[in-house]
Amino acid sequence: MKIKNLKINGYGKLKNKNINFEKINIIYGKNESGKSTILNFIINILYNISKNKNGKSLSDYDKYLPWNENEFSGKISYILDNNKKYQVFRNFNKKDTEVYDENGINISNEYNIDKKLGNLYFSDQVKVDKDTLLSTVVAAQNETRIDANMQNILIQKVANLAESGDEEVSYKKAVNILGKILLNEVGTNKSQDRPINITKENIFNYEKELEDIKNIRNIKSEIEEKNKKLNKMLISHEKNKEIIEKIINILNNKKLKSEKIKIKENIYNETKNKIEKIRNNKKDHKNNKKNYIILIILIIINILNFIFIKNKIINLMLFALIPIFILILFIKMINNKKYFLKNVDLPVKTLEGNNNELKIEINKLKEELNNEFFDEKEELIRIYGKEIINLLEDEDIEKRLHETNKEIERIELELHKQKLDMSNIEPKLEKLAELEEKLELEESNLEKLENRANIINLTKDIIEESYIEMKNNVTPKFNINLSKNIEKLSKGKYKNIIINDDILVELENGQHISIERLSTGTIEQIYLALRLSVIDEISTEKLPIFLDETFAFYDDERLEEALKFLLDIENQVIIFTCTNREKNILEKLNANFNYIDIT
């Protein structure tokens, strides 16, 4: 792979920068001129920028976000080893990524998308993640400068890189740390007073205590089962009580309304009898026999007087009484007629009218009562079923209600007794629940500890398998590549480096010595050689090599050998420097290189 061009629209202090690249490139600039910003731009346009601080005071996003510019974007053009060309535009504000092939076709959707990182086009193309790239082909500022007091750190980095492929990861140290973590955070079967040992002992004790009071659970179950049956019975009887009370209420309501109707019927009958009595009295007045008897007697006396008494004057007087009596009788009859018309006939008509209205009202009330009772009966049948009819027709329904209430009281009394029994075992139940909760907690804790132990042991196994695989398959290749590289860098002084459980360097006389006995400058060369040796193993692509002030503390001789080595390899090389030493040496070697001055 080779980067052809960068177009930086806005990134940190840089804006509107257009940079072309060749095989060997030197980016020159004074300190703080933006060299490291360009390197960071390349890394983040390939993998996208992160808003995570990762232990730093500022995230890359916050650090390189332009202050006064809305544009926070750029484009990179590059060609892979298969000669396929790509152009990629990223908007760092929105994580928007547009990937175009050499025909200008947008192929962004052909690559995996990560929620945090966005489009993973470069990882998919070269099969290398960001961390691996940074630990191999990117040598950041001063990474190879280690003074005498820090020599052991550099040796450790070399060992780490050889063991694990990452200069920050030590196989042995990782395994030891995992062992300590396993012992301290979990424990083993052989350890004492460790979390897993304490947890297992607690589980044993809690299980023993639970065994002693396990019968409480049976008693509790019996009480709960009995309560369940009693409550079921109580619900049934309360439902029956509710039904009976509704029926009684309906019947009482019917009875009350029937009594009201009966009262109106009594009023109607009494009024009817009163009317009859008035009418009878009227007949008695109309048929006053006494007056007629007197009249007959007068006629008979007149007849007898006329036959037996011959006195004309007496006969005339007696005879005169008859018409007078008849006149009086006639006048009385007229007066009686007026009296009955005024005092009897009119009131009777009024009473009859009122009684007829009362009769209509009574019939209406009876109809309403029958309809209401029918509707209530139908509603009860709808809710409770046809069997409710028997209760509606039960003459002893009040007695049934009394018996139901009595049964409810009995059940409630029994439930109260069960409640007292439950309260008597409550302390033991609480202890049982407490023990079960503690046991569950400890069992959960044990499961977590065992899972933790399994994860740690699995991690150790994976690390060991990876180490063995690297030792058997990768390390020999490292040894060969590293030996070739260090031979070139050291002008043939060191021809063979063996990395196994230790790092051994073969001297010109054939003697093997530990890397710890070498000078810091030589260790720096081995460190660089090892990083460059790893490159071919991490990807099928010949990835560019980024060197940011890597040679700041190399002497001119070592720097010349390093540059000769870089000229011979196939990888593209981009050197960031604040001096002209690299330029001068390359010119001295008559090398072709691209010089970029950003000052």
Percent of the chain with pLDDT over 90: 24
Question: For the ranges 15-24, 171-180, 194-203, 232-241, which has the lowest average pLDDT?
Answer: 171-180
597: Cβ contacts below 8 Å, ≥ 6 apart: 28, 29
Per-residue pLDDT of 69-110, as tens digits, reads 678 999 999 999 999 999 999 999 887 899 999 999 999 999
pLDDT band at 475 (very low <50, low <70, confident <90, very high): low
Domain assignment of residue 402, yes or no: no
- Point out which residues pair with 29 in neighbouring strands: none
- Taking residues 345-363, what's their average pLDDT? 79
Domain assignment of residue 253, yes or no: yes
Domain assignment of residue 496, yes or no: no
Domain assignment of residue 580, yes or no: no
Question: For the ranges 2-6, 252-256, 264-268, 289-293, which has the lowest average pLDDT?
Answer: 289-293
Say if residues 42 and 6 touch (Cβ distance below 8 Å): yes
Taking the C-alpha atoms of residue 45 and residue 69, their distance in angstroms, rounded to an integer, is: 18
566: Cβ contacts below 8 Å, ≥ 6 apart: 24, 545, 573
| C-alpha distance across the termini of the chain, in Å | 28
Q: Residue 358: how many CB atoms within 10 A of its CB?
A: 16
Tokens found for residue 43: 């890394």
Taking the C-alpha atoms of residue 570 and residue 593, their distance in angstroms, rounded to an integer, is: 14
pLDDT band at 222 (very low <50, low <70, confident <90, very high): confident
Domain assignment of residue 225, yes or no: yes
Taking the C-alpha atoms of residue 564 and residue 554, their distance in angstroms, rounded to an integer, is: 14
- Taking residues 372-395, what's their average pLDDT? 79
Tokens found for residue 276: 């009859």
Taking the C-alpha atoms of residue 595 and residue 268, their distance in angstroms, rounded to an integer, is: 130
Which position has the higher pLDDT, 512 or 25? 25
Say if residues 493 and 506 touch (Cβ distance below 8 Å): no
Distance set, CA 165 to CA 151, 221, 475, 533 (Å) = 20, 63, 10, 11
Taking the C-alpha atoms of residue 9 and residue 7, their distance in angstroms, rounded to an integer, is: 6
Q: Return the DSSP state at 551.
A: T
Instruction: Report the predicted TM-score, pTM, of the whole model to 2 decimal places.
Output: 0.52
Taking the C-alpha atoms of residue 60 and residue 48, their distance in angstroms, rounded to an integer, is: 10
Say if residues 296 and 397 touch (Cβ distance below 8 Å): no
- Taking residues 200-205, what's their average pLDDT? 89
> Is the per-residue pLDDT at 169 higher than 60?
no
> Is the per-residue pLDDT at 473 higher than 70?
no
- Taking residues 11-29, what's their average pLDDT? 95
Pair type for strands 512-514 and 594-597: unpaired
Domain assignment of residue 59, yes or no: no
- Point out which residues pair with 176 in neighbouring strands: none
Residue given tokens 């019975």 in the structure block: 233
19: Cβ contacts below 8 Å, ≥ 6 apart: 5, 6, 8, 27, 38, 596
pLDDT band at 504 (very low <50, low <70, confident <90, very high): confident
Say if residues 538 and 128 touch (Cβ distance below 8 Å): yes
Taking the C-alpha atoms of residue 85 and residue 285, their distance in angstroms, rounded to an integer, is: 141
Question: For the ranges 275-284, 416-425, 489-498, which has the lowest average pLDDT?
Answer: 275-284
Handedness of CA 108, 114, 118, 123 (dihedral sign): negative
> Is the per-residue pLDDT at 458 higher than 80?
yes
Per-residue pLDDT of 308-343, as tens digits, reads 666 666 666 666 666 776 777 667 666 555 555 555
pLDDT band at 122 (very low <50, low <70, confident <90, very high): very high
- Taking residues 547-556, what's their average pLDDT? 84
Question: For the ranges 119-133, 280-294, 495-509, which has the lowest average pLDDT?
Answer: 280-294
Say if residues 497 and 162 touch (Cβ distance below 8 Å): no
Helix (H, G, I), strand (E, B) or coil at 141: coil
Q: Residue 517: how many CB atoms within 10 A of its CB?
A: 9
The DSSP H or E segment spanning 108 is none
CB-facing half-sphere around the CA of 140: CA atoms within 13 A: 9
Taking the C-alpha atoms of residue 440 and residue 432, their distance in angstroms, rounded to an integer, is: 12
pLDDT at position 150, please? Answer: 37
Range of the domain at 366: 217-394
Which position has the higher pLDDT, 26 or 359? 26
- Point out which residues pair with 27 in neighbouring strands: 576, 596
Per-residue pLDDT of 518-535, as tens digits, reads 777 677 777 777 777 777
Which position has the higher pLDDT, 365 or 160? 365
**DSSP assignment string, 420-451:** HHHHHHHHHHHHHHHHHHHHHHHHHHHHHHHH
Domain assignment of residue 243, yes or no: yes
- Taking residues 295-300, what's their average pLDDT? 72
> Is the per-residue pLDDT at 148 higher than 50?
no
Domain count for the chain: 1
pLDDT band at 44 (very low <50, low <70, confident <90, very high): very high
Domain assignment of residue 468, yes or no: no
- Taking residues 394-399, what's their average pLDDT? 80
* The Cα angle at residue 443 between residues 437 and 447, in degrees rounded to 5: 145
- Taking residues 496-509, what's their average pLDDT? 74
Q: In 400-523, at which residue ranges do the beta strands (DSSP E only) sit?
A: 496-499, 503-506, 512-514
Distance set, CA 204 to CA 196, 214, 432, 435 (Å) = 12, 15, 15, 12
